[in-house]
Amino acid sequence: MVGLSLGEKHFIQGGIAQDIRSDGRKRLTYRPINVETGVIPQANGSARIRMGATDVISTVKAELGKPISLQPDKGKVSIYVDCSPTAAPMFEGRGGEELSTELSVALQRSLLGGKSGAGAGIDLSSLVVVEGKICWDLYIDCLVVCSDGNLLDALGAAIKAALSNTGIPRVQVAAGASGDEQPEVDISDEEFLQFDTSDIPVIVTLTKVGRHYIVDATTEEESQMSSAISISVNRKGHICGLNKRGGAGLDPSIVLDMISVAKHVSEQLMNKLDSEIAAAEAGEDES
Amino acid sequence: MEFVSPEGLRLDGRRPMEMRQIRAEIGAVAKADGSAVFEMGNTKVIAAVYGPREVQNRSQQINDQALVRCDYSMANFSTGDRMRKPKGDRRSTEISLVIRQTMEACILTHLMPRSQIDIFVQVLQADGGTRSACINAATLALADAGIPMRDLVTSCSSGYLNSTPLLDLNYVEDSAGGPDVTVGFLPKLDKVTLLQMDSKLPIDIFEKVMQLAIEGCKAIANYIREIMLENTKQLEYRRGI
C-alpha cells in the first residue's frame, strides 16, 4: 500500500528513535488540527476535522424512535463510518468496507460504552422524551474524505465537534395519551436543545514503532508500526475504551506505561480541541 | 403545485433563467493527484483524480489509450432523510457510467497508452443536479491533476414546469415529474457530449430548454476558467515566479 524504500524506512524509524520525526514533530506532538462546524446544513449537527492531510466529516442526524424494552430510559446512538474512494483508490466499491467496519466498531467501543450503555460518553438518558415510548435515535455518520493516518483520533474528534454543534429540537408531548397508545408529539422548529459534550472522551492512538511510541502517526509511519493502542480518555482522566491493533505482542508493563502517557497527552488534546471547536462555533455564528 | 409564481419567481426565489450560486475550490483532497469541490446551491460534491498511473488490473489494459474509470458514491448523510444504501446500486452505477463516458470524451487518452486514470466523485449533499455537479467537479479535478483534455467539459440541467423553461433544477423541482434535461457541453468546440432527458416535451420547446441548459454550461465554463486561473496564479506566486 505504501511504497517505501529501505532507506526511507530507516529514516522514519531512526527519526522516531531520536525524537524528531520526518515532518519535524516530536514523538508526542499532534499535527495542527483544523475544525469547521456546520458543514452539512441538512444534518442536525456536523463538523469537518483536518489533521495534516487527514480529512474527515462527521454528521449527526436525530430521528424520533422507540426505546428498546430492556432500557426504557435510554435513547439510542449508532455510529457508522464510510471510507470514501476519494481518500484512496483501494476503497472503491466494497474495498473500504473492512476498514469502515473496524473504525465503526472501535468508535462505538470508545464512545458508547458497553451493551448496557452505562459507560457511554454521551448521556443516553437525556435522549428520552417519554420513558418507554419515545426517544431520540442519534445516527452519527462519518465520512473519510482523505486519509493520512490516525483516522480513529480524527474521527473521535470530529464526532465530539459534531455533537457540540448539534441542536436537538424541543419536543412537546400531547397530554392525555394513556396506556399503550403512542403519544402524539409536536416537534419545535425554533427551539433546540444543546448537548452536554464535556463528558465525551477523546481518543488517543499510540503507535509503536521500534522501541518507542508516537501519537498522530502519518500513513508512512503507520506502515512501520508493530502495534498500536487506541485509548479513549474523558475529561476526568478515566479510560472509556481501549483497542489494540497490530500483530506484535506487548509487554503488560508497556501497556500500562502507554496508558499513562495517553492520559497525559489526552489532556492537551482535549484542551486544544475544545478551543478549536469554540473558535469554529464562534466563526460560524458570525458568518 | 405552483413552481413559478405569477411574479415570475421560483420556489427558492430565483428567476426562471437564474442558476443557483456556484462555488468551486481546487485541491480539497491532499493525497489525490487532483481534486476539487463543486457546489451548486445546496448540492455539494468532491471529486478526486488518481493517475495517470500503472493499470491495476492487467486484463483491462488498453495498448493505445488510457483506461478511464469512474466511481460515484453518495454519503449517508447527503439526502434529507438518512439512508443506509447498498454500495453500487443501479442509480450510482448509471451515473458512474455517464460521468466516465463524458470525461473520456474530452480526455486525450491516446497520449497516455497503457495507463489508468481514476475519477472518484463523492456527493456530500444532494439537492438536485448531482449529475451536473459531479461532471463539473470532475473536470476541475482532472485539470488540477494536469491531465491533457480537449476542452473543459461542463454540465448543467434545465427543465420545463408551469409552461416555463427553468434553469438548474433543485430537488423539489426535479421531483415534480416534469422533464429534466441534463446537458454536457464542450464550450470551445461548441459540441454537446452528454444529453439526457426524461418525461416528454414537444420538439420546439425541447429546443428552447436544451438551449437554456447550454447557456448554463457556458456560464459554468466561464466560472471554472476563472477558478483555474486564480489557482494557477496562486501556484505561480508560491513558486515565486
Domains and CATH numbers, chain B: 22-239 (3.30.230.70)
Our CA-based measurement puts residue A141 at a distance from the nearest CA of chain B, in whole angstroms, of 7
A84 to B80: CB separation less than 8 angstroms, yes or no: no
Interface residue B125 vs chain A (CB under 8 A): yes
Q: Is residue A32 part of a domain?
A: yes
* Strand pairing report for A45-51 and A33-37: antiparallel
Give pLDDT, residue A119. 64
- Does residue B29 contact residue A145 with C-beta atoms inside 8 Å? yes
Given CA atoms A103, A106, A112, A114 in this order, what sign does their dihedral have? positive
Q: Is residue A2 part of a domain?
A: no
For residue A146, give the nearest of B30, B73, B87 by CB distance: B30
Interface residue B35 vs chain A (CB under 8 A): yes
Q: What is the DSSP string of chain B?
A: --SB-TTS-BTTS--TTPPPPEEEEE---TTSSEEEEEEETTEEEEEEEEEEEE-SSGGG--SSS-EEEEEEEE-TTSSSS---PPTT-HHHHHHHHHHHHHHHHHB-GGGSTTEEEEEEEEEEE-SS-HHHHHHHHHHHHHHHTT--BSS--EEEEEEEETTEEEES--HHHHTTSS-EEEEEEETTTTEEEEEEEES---HHHHHHHHHHHHHHHHHHHHHHHHHHHHHHHHHHHHHT-
Q: Is residue A210 part of a domain?
A: yes
Q: Is residue A8 part of a domain?
A: no
Chain A partners within 8 Å of B120 (Cβ) = 84-86, 89, 92
Chain B partners within 8 Å of A89 (Cβ) = 50, 56, 118, 120
B31 to A82: CB separation less than 8 angstroms, yes or no: no
Place of cell 420538439: B203
Q: What is the pLDDT along chain A (287 residues), one digit of tens a residue?
A: 578 899 999 999 999 999 999 999 999 999 999 999 999 988 999 999 999 999 999 999 998 888 888 888 888 889 999 999 999 888 887 888 899 999 999 998 888 876 666 666 777 888 888 888 888 899 999 999 999 999 999 999 999 999 999 988 888 887 665 666 677 788 877 788 887 888 889 999 999 998 899 999 999 999 999 999 999 998 888 888 888 888 778 899 999 999 999 999 999 999 999 999 999 988 877 76
Determine the residue of chain A that is closest to B51 in CA distance.
A89
Total structural domains within chain A: 1
We report the CATH number of the domain holding residue A134 as 3.30.230.70
B84 — pLDDT class (breaks 50, 70, 90): low
Q: Rounded to two decimals, what is the model's pTM?
A: 0.91
Q: Is residue A5 part of a domain?
A: no
Q: Is residue A3 part of a domain?
A: no
Interface residue B172 vs chain A (CB under 8 A): no
Q: What is the ipTM of this complex?
A: 0.88
Cell triple for B94: 448509471
Q: Is residue A268 part of a domain?
A: yes
B125 to A61: CB separation less than 8 angstroms, yes or no: no
- The residues in A 76-105 lying below 8 A from B, measured between CB atoms, are 80, 82, 84-89, 92-94, 97
The residue range of the domain holding A224 is 13-286
Give pLDDT, residue A112. 81
Q: Is residue A4 part of a domain?
A: no
- The residues in A 47-76 lying below 8 A from B, measured between CB atoms, are 52-53, 55, 57, 59, 61, 63
B82 to A147: CB separation less than 8 angstroms, yes or no: no
Identity of residue B193: T
Lowest mean pLDDT among A164-178, A238-252, B6-20, B93-107: A164-178
Give pLDDT, residue B50. 95
